Structure 1
């Protein structure tokens, strides 16, 4: 009798575009693990039954993407503090005792990418300016606050979403109107774009960067294209810039480790595999 082959995957709808199977497949091969990582298109109405069935089929966990990141919290038996605070999960662990544990590693991925791409980054060097107030922004604001950033300036095209984050996180959040978003770059030590602006097929990033200091670290969670217009202009101004691909790599590390028992490297080889997709 052979041991069960561990299975993991990503659930969402759609998932055909996901780069996670290529990344996890690379790590499985590199570490000689007899397992598989599978993309699964799961409709909203099928989410509950999928989470009940997958563990019985040999799955040890899954990543979760749109539109299920919020809904899985209500279906999980255990929810990590950070997933609860963010209000979404991107990683599920199917435990041997039958319980489903929900976690969110987006913030971890963001910080690890920032530290790898800008080794001198100092969270207390000055305010952080965050563009956008969606799910990714929630994870990033949480992570920045945990790292000790004292002031987080936030601007979103719909101001109400930014105000909702301020209501949750308190006076550390300072909200700017979208038309004044450029003003919040004055004196900012960290600048983060969490919107889809500048992404392939999306509107251009048009926030003026006149107030951007050359001492600022600038990062964009968009990775298609890898070098967005924001990063190009920031680099031209002398800033250290960090692309968004590393966040995708680093957020995947904790899940792989929990599922397969080995901590993989978010290194140049992993980047190359994802870029080839």
Structure 2
């Protein structure tokens, strides 16, 4: 019987995870299969227990289930505990479930792959689950963090939970661009269906050395990244984070720690057109 893993979320419209995990299975000669299995919120826990009983090795978990996964697991890795969410479930041989959060390490590795040195000062936009994981990883890497979110209390909650960082009002974030080396967008602004935000105007205050990154990968060049390119700024898309956050889960379920190679990226890019 092949080793089985999957990704679950609701409605699970845009996931590209099956492409990359099945690519790695083929590359490393593994008898394995990675599936796309949508689960509605009311079916999440029963669905997870059923997949565990069927012999799955584990799952990736995406919106809106990361907090439910955090509550469900028997133990959490330090990154999961720090992020307050779980995106990777590992079904252990003793019947327990380990929860991990690989978003933070995936983000940091995507910067390294893009040739970006870890910044001294970063400005993060957004205060959702992915934002907390990214903020935790940046803080743990020694970065000074500034956070802005339209609902300021959510940003304040992240800073309090992580024990570091400063919160600024959403309407003031553009004025802080000269003071940072990295801008990270973790909001849905610029994602398909959320166009219309004037990023070009927002980047007026950016220094020529600013690195601009967006964790969105559909579209691959978001309006923010297009505005960065127009100003000749270094831009990092969200596809690298998708690839790198998947690597620890693949290793836990299938064995090898997979490489993030150009062929895999090209295959994923083809599906985004």
User: What's the TM-score bracket when you normalise by the shorter of the two chains?
Assistant: over 0.9
Q: Retained in 1: the 8 A contact 2:195–2:223?
A: no
Instruction: Compute the displacement of 1:242 (Å).
Output: 0.9
3-state SS in 2 of match to 1:186: helix
Match for 2:111 among 114, 120, 130?
114
Match of residue 50 from structure 1: 47
Q: Distance in 2 between matches of 1:156 and 1:60?
A: 37
Match of residue 156 from structure 1: 149
Aligned positions of 1:16-95 closer than 5 A? 16-95=13-92
Unaligned runs of 5+ in 2: none
Instruction: Compute the displacement of 1:225 (Å).
Output: 1.7
**Structure 1 residue 222 and structure 2 residue 216: aligned?**
yes
Q: Retained in 1: the 8 A contact 2:107–2:245?
A: yes
Q: Distance in 2 between matches of 1:205 and 1:143?
A: 27
Unaligned runs of 5+ in 1: none
RMSD: 1.5
Q: Distance in 2 between matches of 1:51 and 1:200?
A: 29
Q: Distance in 1 between matches of 2:38 and 2:162?
A: 34
Number of matched residues?
269
Match for 1:139 among 133, 140, 157?
133
Q: Retained in 1: the 8 A contact 2:214–2:224?
A: yes
**Structure 1 residue 254 and structure 2 residue 248: aligned?**
yes
Aligned positions of 1:135-214 closer than 5 A? 135-149=129-143, 151-170=144-163, 172-207=164-199, 208-214=202-208
Instruction: Compute the displacement of 1:239 (Å).
Output: 2.3
TM-score (norm 2): 0.94
Q: Distance in 1 between matches of 2:204 and 2:223?
A: 14
Change (3 A) 1:107 1:67: same
Q: Retained in 2: the 8 A contact 1:113–1:247?
A: yes
3-state SS in 2 of match to 1:210: helix
TM-score (norm 1): 0.92
Q: Retained in 2: the 8 A contact 1:176–1:184?
A: no
